[in-house]
A and B are shown apart, each in its own frame.
Chain A
Amino acid sequence: MLITGIKSRPVYDRLQPMTGGLRHLIAGQGSGGEAMLRLLADMSETQRHNSTLLYSTESFSGHSHLQALQDADAAGLEVFASNQALIDALRERLGDAHMGTRLYLSGSESFIGTAMQAANAVDLNRDEVLREHSGTLVRRVWCAHCDTYTENVTQRVFTCPGCQLNLVVRDHYSRRLAAFQGIKADGEVPGELPAAEELDT
């Protein structure tokens, strides 16, 4: 029933300066700070001075690059305590931004996926955004029954905190929802649950 090999999962890039851009928005989270620092080091001075950094200290693994980012040479750094707060701010910055802006994202799949929702809302295309994944591939799961999103799911079968149903996590990643789909695990034969297994995180 489950699909093997996840074709729908985005193929991530390695952050590098996009030369045609006049302004650069660099947003990252947790261990993604490392890619942000490497990107800044690869940039010219002009590019750095036209770069705004957005960093969220929320992290699944506990990594923080805040100190190094505070010391970095860039036009500005805004720090957020949660990924959601960063993405709300990003949505606002993108809404006010002009053509010529490039977006760089680094962090967990959940962070990148939700940030891409903000990018898609202003029609940023693949030639204006680079995404570098860091850390684990723990999943963000959307419950098909009650519309609850659950972060950091690592098990094939888990209980939805929204509706208490046992959900099986399918191997289809939805870019629109920025999540994997969870559906009732014993929907076909009540009581018959699929084997518990750790997801390929």
Chain B
Amino acid sequence: MNTHNGTLSVRVARIEQLTPEIKRFTLVDPDGKHLPAFSGGSHVVVVLEDGDKTHRNAYSLMSSPYDSSAYQIAVRRVSDGRGGSRLMHDKVCQGDLLQILQPANLFPLAKHARQHVFVAGGVGITPVYSQLEELHVKQSTFELHLAVRGPEHTALGLELQARYGQCVHLYVQGQQRLDIRSVLAGRPLGSHVYVCGPDSMIDDTLDSAHALGWTDSHIHYERFVEQGSTGQPFSVTLARQGVTIEVPAEQSLLEAAEQAGYKVPYLCRGGACGYCETEVLEVDGELDHRDDWLSEDDKLSKRKFMPCVSRANCSRLVVDL
């Protein structure tokens, strides 16, 4: 097994408190060199050592894809999360070095679209930042519909309004209501919708678009992936390594394998990208599929498994890792 991506060392050049919960981090190369190029919608994984634990959190790049002198990410502090965002908020200081993985894009723009419509909620605005920058440079038109929970959460929306003007529509809870169905109604052929936000917003967008006769190839979404998974502990045999490891209640198979010293290829760590898909060689019991990647048929077949989020309730599980 080998790593598919080396880590990249970056220095925290600046930290801005944007809203009560969101901080923006500007990351640069420690030697002032250019960072690897990326496209609109890309993310990086930040690797954070936390005692004997390692957090690997994915954050969207919100800086311009046309400026490789720095990356910017926005981190929302999740008080009851697994600890990665708390570490970023409470411990990381300007000047610190961080380890990140090279950018990857699971939320790219549709290059042939005639209209781009963005729907975002809260910190879900972050991948849209770099997408808008890409469209702006290409002089393509777009519309953004951004909903936030209150006036104190509008900083990013106001920043985008200042930059792009009228095509940014801001909806503040209690003041304006975002009606996704009417935003999508009456669009010309070749329209594409991109949605990033809470699950309810993504589901509402998918349902509205389908009801209006949109096909899946015109609907793009990125969920806030819950990194890792928790549940009942189980054991798993990694066939290629010839070892059996225990997956504890608060870890995913991927995390348990990494902690035991085995490198498993991964990208999003949230069941979205399909990169870590593995084959089930033997199973005696039930698989608990928790990903957005495998088809229903694949899930029922008991032949495929996503180590980053899925679990098992079985007496024996052998995977091709």
Interface positions of A (Cβ within 8 A of B): 20-23, 94-102, 120, 122-128
- Across the interface, do B215 and A98 meet the contact criterion of CB distance under 8 Å? no
**Binding site of B, secondary structure by majority: helix, strand, loop or mixed?**
loop
- Across the interface, do A127 and B189 meet the contact criterion of CB distance under 8 Å? no
- With contact pairs A22-B213, A125-B217, A127-B216 given, residues A99 and B187 touching in the complex (Cβ less than 8 Å): yes
When chains A and B are docked, how far (Å) is the Cα of A95 from the Cα of B190? 10
The 9 closest A-B pairs by CB, nearest first: A100-B213, A123-B190, A22-B213, A125-B217, A127-B215, A122-B189, A122-B190, A123-B112, A99-B187
A41 → chain B, closest Cβ, in Å? 22
- Across the interface, do A20 and B218 meet the contact criterion of CB distance under 8 Å? no
When chains A and B are docked, how far (Å) is the Cα of A123 from the Cα of B191? 8
Which single residue of chain A is at the shortest CB-CB distance from B215? A127
When chains A and B are docked, how far (Å) is the Cα of A124 from the Cα of B188? 11
- Across the interface, do A100 and B214 meet the contact criterion of CB distance under 8 Å? yes
Q: Which residues of B contact A23 (CB under 8 A)?
A: 213
Q: Which residues of A contact B212 (CB under 8 A)?
A: 22, 99-100
Q: Which residues of A contact B214 (CB under 8 A)?
A: 20, 99-100
Which single residue of chain B is at the shortest CB-CB distance from A100? B213
A75 → chain B, closest Cβ, in Å? 16
Q: Which residues of B contact A124 (CB under 8 A)?
A: 189-190
Interface positions of B (Cβ within 8 A of A): 110, 112-114, 184, 186-191, 209-210, 212-218
When chains A and B are docked, how far (Å) is the Cα of A99 from the Cα of B214? 6
When chains A and B are docked, how far (Å) is the Cα of A23 from the Cα of B188? 13
- Across the interface, do A125 and B213 meet the contact criterion of CB distance under 8 Å? no
- Across the interface, do A125 and B215 meet the contact criterion of CB distance under 8 Å? yes
- Across the interface, do A94 and B189 meet the contact criterion of CB distance under 8 Å? yes
Which single residue of chain B is at the shortest CB-CB distance from A126? B217
A124 → chain B, closest Cβ, in Å? 6
21 A-B residue pairs with Cβ-Cβ distance under 8 Å, sorted by A, are A20-B210, A20-B213, A20-B214, A22-B213, A94-B189, A97-B188, A97-B189, A98-B186, A99-B188, A99-B209, A99-B218, A100-B212, A100-B213, A101-B213, A102-B213, A122-B190, A123-B110, A123-B114, A123-B190, A126-B217, A127-B215
- Across the interface, do A99 and B113 meet the contact criterion of CB distance under 8 Å? no
When chains A and B are docked, how far (Å) is the Cα of A126 from the Cα of B218? 11
Q: Which residues of B contact A22 (CB under 8 A)?
A: 212-213
Q: Which residues of A contact B217 (CB under 8 A)?
A: 125-128
When chains A and B are docked, how far (Å) is the Cα of A128 from the Cα of B217? 9
Which single residue of chain A is at the shortest CB-CB distance from B190? A123
Q: Which residues of A contact B216 (CB under 8 A)?
A: 127
Which single residue of chain B is at the shortest CB-CB distance from A128? B215
Q: Which residues of B contact A94 (CB under 8 A)?
A: 189
Q: Which residues of A contact B112 (CB under 8 A)?
A: 120, 123
Most-contacted residue by chain B among A21, A23, A99 (CB, 10 A) = A99
- Across the interface, do B218 and A125 meet the contact criterion of CB distance under 8 Å? yes
A136 → chain B, closest Cβ, in Å? 31
B201 → chain A, closest Cβ, in Å? 19
A66 → chain B, closest Cβ, in Å? 28
Which single residue of chain B is at the shortest CB-CB distance from A127? B215
When chains A and B are docked, how far (Å) is the Cα of A96 from the Cα of B188? 7
- Across the interface, do B188 and A98 meet the contact criterion of CB distance under 8 Å? yes
Q: Which residues of B contact A122 (CB under 8 A)?
A: 114, 188-190
- With contact pairs A97-B188, A99-B191, A101-B189 given, residues A123 and B113 touching in the complex (Cβ less than 8 Å): yes
Given contacts A99-B187, A99-B218, 12 further A-B contacts (CB under 8 A): A23-B213, A97-B188, A98-B187, A98-B189, A99-B184, A99-B188, A99-B214, A100-B213, A101-B189, A122-B189, A122-B190, A123-B113
When chains A and B are docked, how far (Å) is the Cα of A98 from the Cα of B187? 5
B128 → chain A, closest Cβ, in Å? 20
Which single residue of chain B is at the shortest CB-CB distance from A102? B213
B73 → chain A, closest Cβ, in Å? 31
When chains A and B are docked, how far (Å) is the Cα of A190 from the Cα of B83? 75
When chains A and B are docked, how far (Å) is the Cα of A97 from the Cα of B188? 6
Q: Which residues of B contact A127 (CB under 8 A)?
A: 215-217
Which single residue of chain A is at the shortest CB-CB distance from B193? A99
Which single residue of chain A is at the shortest CB-CB distance from B212? A100
When chains A and B are docked, how far (Å) is the Cα of A94 from the Cα of B189? 7
B207 → chain A, closest Cβ, in Å? 12
Q: Which residues of A contact B215 (CB under 8 A)?
A: 20, 125, 127-128
When chains A and B are docked, how far (Å) is the Cα of A22 from the Cα of B213? 6
Most-contacted residue by chain B among A123, A124, A127, A128 (CB, 10 A) = A123
Q: Which residues of B contact A123 (CB under 8 A)?
A: 110, 112-114, 189-190
When chains A and B are docked, how far (Å) is the Cα of A100 from the Cα of B212? 6
When chains A and B are docked, how far (Å) is the Cα of A95 from the Cα of B212? 18
